[in-house]
Amino acid sequence: MKKTLLSLTTLVFTLFASFTIAKNSTTILKIAADVTPHTELLEFIQSDIKKQNIELKIYTITDPTLVNAQTSDGELDANFFQHIIYMKTQTKDRHLDLVNAGNIHIEPMGIYSEKYKSISELPDNAKIAINNDSTNEYRVLIMLEKAGLIRLKSDIKPFTASINDIEKYLKPIQIVELDPSLITRLRKEFDAYSTWSNKILEANIDLQKTRIFSEEKNSTYVNIIATNSKRINDPAIKILVKTLRSDKVKKFIETKYKGSVVLAPNLY
pLDDT digits (tens, 9 = 90+) for 161-181: 899 999 999 999 999 999 988
Which pLDDT band, with edges at 50, 70 and 90, does 51 fall under? low
CATH, domain range 109-214: 3.40.190.10
**What confidence score (pLDDT) does residue 133 get?**
84
Buried/exposed code over 161-170 (b: 16+ C-beta within 10 A; e: otherwise): beeebbeeee
Domain 3-107+220-263 has CATH 3.40.50.300: no
- Based on the number of CB atoms within 10 Å of its own CB, is 54 exposed (0-12), middle (13-18) or buried (19 or more)? buried
pLDDT digits (tens, 9 = 90+) for 121-140: 999 999 999 999 877 899 99
Domain boundaries, the chain: 3-107+220-263, 109-214
**What confidence score (pLDDT) does residue 25 get?**
75
**What confidence score (pLDDT) does residue 42 get?**
93
**What confidence score (pLDDT) does residue 216 get?**
79
**What confidence score (pLDDT) does residue 65 get?**
80
Q: Between the ranges 34-38, 75-79, 84-88, 263-267, where is the mean pLDDT highest?
A: 75-79
Q: What average pLDDT score do residues 178-205 get?
A: 93
Helix H or strand E segment including 229? none
pTM of the model: 0.80
Task: Specify the amino acid at residue 236.
Answer: A
pLDDT at 21 over 70: no
Cβ atoms of residues 39 and 7 within 8 Å: no
- C-alpha to C-alpha distance for 47 and 49, rounded to whole angstroms: 6
Q: Do domains 3-107+220-263 and 109-214 have the same CATH topology?
A: yes
Helix H or strand E segment including 257? helix 247-257
How high is the mean pLDDT of the chain?
87
pLDDT digits (tens, 9 = 90+) for 222-244: 999 999 999 999 999 999 999 99
Q: Between the ranges 45-54, 131-140, 200-209, 220-229, where is the mean pLDDT highest?
A: 220-229
- C-alpha to C-alpha distance for 190 and 209, rounded to whole angstroms: 16
